[in-house]
Amino acid sequence: MGSMRVALMVTCVNDAMFPETGKAVVTLLRRLGVDVEFPAAQTCCAQPMVNTGYLDEAVPVVRTFVDAFAGFDAIVTPSGSCAGSARHQHGIVARRTGDAGLAAAVAETSPKVFELTEFLVDVLGVVDVGAYFPHRVTYHPTCHSLRMLGVGDRPRRLLEAVRGIRLAELPSAEECCGFGGTFALKNADTSIAMGADKARHVRSTGAEVMVAGDNSCLMHVGGILSRQRSGVRVMHLAEILASTEDAPLGAVVGGGR
Amino acid sequence: MTGTFVGMPAFPVAAREALGDTQLRHNLAHATGVIRAKRAAVVGEVDNWEDLRLAGAAVKERALTDLATHLEELERMLVAHGATVHWARDAAEANAIVVGIAQGHGVDEVVKVKSMVTQEIDLNGALAAAGIAAWETDLAELIVQLGGDLPSHILVPAIHRNRAEVREIFLREMGGAGRPAPADLTDEPAMLAAAARAHLREKFLRAKVGVSGANFAVSETGTLVVVESEGNGRMCLTLPEVLVSVVGIEKVVPTWAELDPLLRLLPRSSTGERMNPYTSTWSGVTPGDGPQEVHVVLLDNGRTRALADSVGRQALRCIRCSACLNVCPVYERTGGHAYGSVYPGPIGAILNPLMQGTGDKQVDSLPYASSLCGACFEVCPVRIDIPEVLVHLRSKVVDAHRSDTVPSAEAVAMKGVAWTFSDARRLARAERASGVAGRVMKRMFGVTLPGGRAASGKLPGPDGGWTSARDLPAPPAESFRAWWQRVGRLGRQGGGES
């Protein structure tokens, strides 16, 4: 990976609400020999605007995106949803503007966006990332990673290679958790009904930890699990993969030490 | 005149009421679960299912691309075979044509094959207004009709009812509509079906006029096609002297060869059967066999409006299988009535706004009645990218309000968020502010998430927000970006330049 320039697309949700996930990706990629960069000009993939119908508002955000990530060989993100947005929706936004320059920039950037498990398995060619996580875990495949990106069994294979982990099968795993971006607010009652069913399935597995590749979905189901005082913790997949025997979860990364 | 139930509230309000009905939730979860499993099993046994889907989509696209030519051919062939063809721009015109035909024969009743398009135009209401009873003969439609109810599913319109409820409806209502249910009726499915059979039999044998829709219309021979499971359709299509079929213009299929993939896709996707029990085809009048007077009403009612939408037109490929309803996690919980239309579920959430146009509060709420999970697209036999069309229609709803003198709170918020996201320095400032808010939250709300992170419990404010049933993690004191700037970048191989 020596000559490959790899950017971390941390996503706005992780940047503002779940920095530990971003740190975990940095730890993990450095451990695997990738000198990941964080282009500081990045903000958001524009999905909140696009999926609520505000396509005009998405235009400057997509411009910021393509400018921030120009010149990188690979753009890695710990979010199936945001990867899907960059790969499938930026083109729609760009075409609507009629700006050929923006469309060309999107065509250049979009195919370089990888969801974390795609990058690990397809680009780096690793399944065993040397992680250690001695807990009972259940995995929820998020909709956009599953159906928009088609990550398939990559997350599962990565989890199965984690030492000490005990994976519990999640019933109705492929059913949506009910987050859905602004759907969670605009149709809060339906969203909560879906999330409550997901939480019920998670609890039925007896897992200590529910893991997924999207913190937005985890924030939703985790919020319900917490309100129910279920004791089940939600964690991003990157944090489990970053965890090792020497540096278990929560250890400080980076810092040049 | 539209396919939307008059006076229905917007989706979130209707959904809230439906979600509170635990019996409805139970009925729906059970029924959609059963039918999902059946579909998955019979689709799984077809090796080239994806090729079939591509073929099905291509056939419908070809028909829609040159729709006028195929429709004119269909009319020509129908007329050549002795049928009378009528063109209806909207529901009112179509209803007037059908009522006129029934009145011309002096009848006070007609028997009906299950048909979505006649539900869409509320033909039964128009006939009733003219003093003509329209008897639904499909078992589920009969349940809906006798119960004074509205359909909640395209294929199984009484999916929201369980068998105990069906027994009650039959005992209470059958006598008023004809032959009563036997007094010792139980909720055994076979007994319920037998009661419906006996009740309907006298109507089949008596009716002079039959009314149907059509699943497909093959233009090269002027042939209408109806697929069904119960045989009631076959009775209605063959026994009456007069047959009137209302057909949406998107039902045209140019050739018999092109009908092939569609007839293979439909039963597996809809009822989860390898093949449907009854496939009836007829081309106009066959002397001495079946109805001797055949009418076909070709209906637009918003279809050309949908056709003019470059993204949304793919919705006209729909063959009304309901696979998207059965897999939809929103539909499974709210049921069909919440969508306020005879076309509920994911396909209804795009068909209604496409055919009626945006601008009505209830219709405008439909494209938002989805978490965009993509399960509908995955199962659609004609590959309608429903999530793509939903997002497209959301943008139409938003764009229609761009010139409002007072913008909505959401529009203001979205503009603010977009402004913040257009420049990383603005975002960094917002994150510093949220970090401060997080510290305040930590003091005020004493919830701790598993793992130790502080969170808010229920926050004051209007109902239905995030925290009514979901705790919200407190924003962290330091954003990722701030961490990277402070220490993260120092761990880079080159010593921290970025």
| Binary contact (B329, A178; C-beta < 8 A) | yes
Tell me how many domains chain A contains: 2
Q: Which residue of B has its CA nearest to A174?
A: B375
Q: Of B272, B29, B27, which is closest to residue B163 (Cα–Cα)?
A: B27
pLDDT of residue B454: 87
How big, in percent rounded to 5, are the helix, strand and coil portions of chain A? 50, 10, 40
- Distance between CA A243 and CA B304 in Å, rounded? 57
User: Taking the model in full, what pTM does it have?
Assistant: 0.95
- Is the confidence at residue A99, as pLDDT, over 80? yes
Helix, strand and coil in chain B, % to nearest 5:
55, 10, 35
Together in a domain, B89 and B219: yes
- B455 → closest Cβ in A41, A175, A226: A226
A–B CB contacts, 8 A cutoff, strictly below: 246
Mean pLDDT of the residues in chain B: 94
Do B111 and B252 lie in one domain? The reply is: yes
Task: Say if CB B130 and CB B102 are below 8 A apart.
Answer: yes
Range of the domain at A220: 136-242
Domain assignment present for residue B288? The answer is: yes
Of B304, B319, B351, at which residue does a domain stop? B304
Band (pLDDT 50/70/90 cuts) for residue A256 is: very low
Q: Are residues A102 and A153 in the same domain?
A: no
* Residue with tokens 């320059």, as numbered in its chain: A101
- B185-210: average pLDDT: 97
CA distances to A125, A149, B421 from A121, rounded to whole Å, are: 5, 14, 31
- Please give the tally of structural domains in chain B: 2
Residue B187 within a domain: yes
Over 70: is that where the pLDDT of B126 sits?
yes
Interface of B with A in 457-486 (CB under 8 A): 457, 464-473, 475-476, 478-481, 483-485
Last residue within a domain, chosen from A123, A145, A164: A123
Q: Residue A190 CB: number of other CB atoms within 10 A?
A: 28
Q: Are B276 and B227 in contact, with CB atoms under 8 Å apart?
A: yes
Q: What would the mean pLDDT of B102-129 be, rounded to a whole number?
A: 98
- Tell me the C-alpha distance between B238 and B210, whole Å: 9
Residue B422 in contact with partner chain A when CB distance is under 8 A: yes
Cα separation of A184 and A174, whole Å?
18
Chain A residues inside the 8 Å CB shell of B465: 185, 188
Per-residue pLDDT of B229-275, as tens digits, reads 999 999 999 999 999 999 999 999 999 999 999 999 999 999 999 99
- Whether residue B377 lies inside any domain: the answer is no
For residue A231, being part of any structural domain is answered with: yes
| Within-domain flag for B29 | yes
DSSP output for A204-226: HTT-SEEEES-HHHHHHHHHHHH
**Does residue A249 lie within any of the structural domains?**
no
Note whether residue B333 is domain-resident: no
Q: Which residues pair with A209 in a beta bridge?
A: A137, A233
Residue where a domain stops, chosen among A123, A144, A178: A123
With bands split at pLDDT 50, 70 and 90, how would you rate the model's confidence at A251? very low
User: Do A109 and A144 have their domain in common?
Assistant: no
A1 in a structural domain: no
pLDDT digits (tens, 9 = 90+) for B29-69: 999 999 999 999 999 999 999 999 999 999 999 999 999 99
User: How much is the pLDDT for B116?
Assistant: 96
Alpha-carbon gap, residue A243 to A28, rounded angstroms: 8
Q: Give the domain extent around B270.
A: 11-304
Copy the structure tokens of residue B240: 């009456």
Mean pLDDT of A198-209: 98
**Which one of A102, A123, A144 terminates a domain?**
A123
* Nearest alpha carbon to residue B372 among B344, B392, B398: B392
B448, pLDDT greater than 90: no
Q: How far is CA A63 from CA A69, A90, A105, in A?
A: 10, 9, 9
- The span from the CA of B351 to the CA of B376, in Å, is 14
**A-chain residues within 8 Å CB-CB of B25?**
193
pLDDT classification of B498: cutoffs 50, 70, 90: very low
Q: State the nearest Cα–Cα gap between B36 and chain A, in angstroms.
A: 12
| Each residue's pLDDT tens digit, A222-244 | 999 999 999 999 999 999 999 99
Mean local confidence (pLDDT), A146-154: 97
Q: Is residue A250 in a domain? A: no
| Confidence category of residue B442, pLDDT binned at 50, 70, 90 | confident
- Picking from B284, B304, B324, the residue at the C-terminal end of a domain is B304
Q: What is the pLDDT of residues B71-80, one digit of tens each?
A: 999 999 999 9
Q: Is residue A72, in this structure, part of any structural domain at all? A: yes
Interface check for B11 against chain A (CB to CB < 8 A): the answer is yes
Residue B199 in 3-state DSSP?
A: helix
Q: Is residue A253 part of a domain?
A: no
- Whether residue B251 contacts residue B116, with contact meaning beta carbons closer than 8 Å, is answered with no
Q: What angle do CA B426, B432, B437 make, to 5 degrees?
A: 125
Residue A70 shares a structural domain with residue A157: no
Residues B110, B228 within the same domain? yes
CA atoms of A196 and A193, how far apart (whole Å): 5
If pLDDT is split at 50, 70 and 90, which confidence band does B3 have? Answer: low
Per the domain annotation, does B444 fall within a domain?
Answer: yes
Considering the domain boundaries, does residue B192 fall inside one?
A: yes
Burial class for B436, CB neighbours closer than 10 Å (0-12, 13-18, 19+)? exposed
CA distance A35 to chain B (A): 6
pLDDT at residue B464 in the model: 52
Residue B379 is assigned to a structural domain of this protein: no
Average the pLDDT over B179-202 and give the result: 96
pLDDT at residue A253, rounded to an integer: 41
**In this structure, what CATH number is given to the domain that contains residue B237?**
3.40.50.10420
| pLDDT at site B495 | 58
In-domain check, residue A130: no
Is residue A10 located within the same domain as residue A116? yes
What integer is the mean pLDDT of A140-161?
A: 97
- Indicate if the alpha-carbon torsion angle B466, B470, B475, B479 is positive or negative: negative
Asked whether residue A237 falls in the same domain as residue A181, the answer is yes
B424 and B282 part of one domain: no
State yes or no: pLDDT of B1 exceeds 50.
no
Residue A256 resides in a domain:
no
Give strand pairing partners of B218: B223, B253
Domain boundary among B249, B275, B304: B304
The residue ranking higher by pLDDT, B476 or B464, is B476
Q: What is the pLDDT of residues A10-65, one digit of tens each?
A: 999 999 999 999 999 999 999 999 999 999 999 999 999 999 999 999 999 999 99
Q: Which CATH number fits the domain that encloses residue A190?
A: 3.40.50
Mark yes or no for CB contact B395/A17 under 8 Å.
Answer: no
- Is the pLDDT at B463 greater than 80? The verdict is no
Chain B residues closer than 8 Å to A189 by CB? 12, 15-16, 19, 464
Residues B383, A142: Cα–Cα separation, whole Å: 21
Distances in whole angstroms, Cα of residue B206 to Cα of each of B135, B198, B210, B241, B487:
12, 13, 11, 10, 86
Percent of chain B with pLDDT over 70: 97
Residues of chain A contacting B19 with CB distance shorter than 8 Å: 189-190, 193
d(CA A75, CA A63): 16
Give first-to-last CA distance, chain A, whole Å. Answer: 23
Task: Say which DSSP state B168 is in.
Answer: H
The tens digit of pLDDT for each residue in A117-129 reads 999 999 999 999 9
First-last CA distance in chain B:
62
**Residues of chain A found within 8 Å of residue B402, distances taken between Cβ atoms:** 56
Confidence of residue A85 (pLDDT cuts 50, 70, 90): very high
pLDDT band at B348 (very low <50, low <70, confident <90, very high): very high
Report pLDDT digits (tens) over B349-390: 999 999 999 999 999 999 999 999 999 999 999 999 999 999
Least confident segment among A231-245, B59-73, B184-198, B451-465: B451-465
Residue B458 is predicted with a pLDDT of 83
Torsional sign, CA B460, B465, B470, B472: negative
B contact test, residue of A54, A175, A197, A230 with most B CBs within 10 A: A54
Q: Please provide the average confidence, as pLDDT, over all residues in chain A.
A: 95
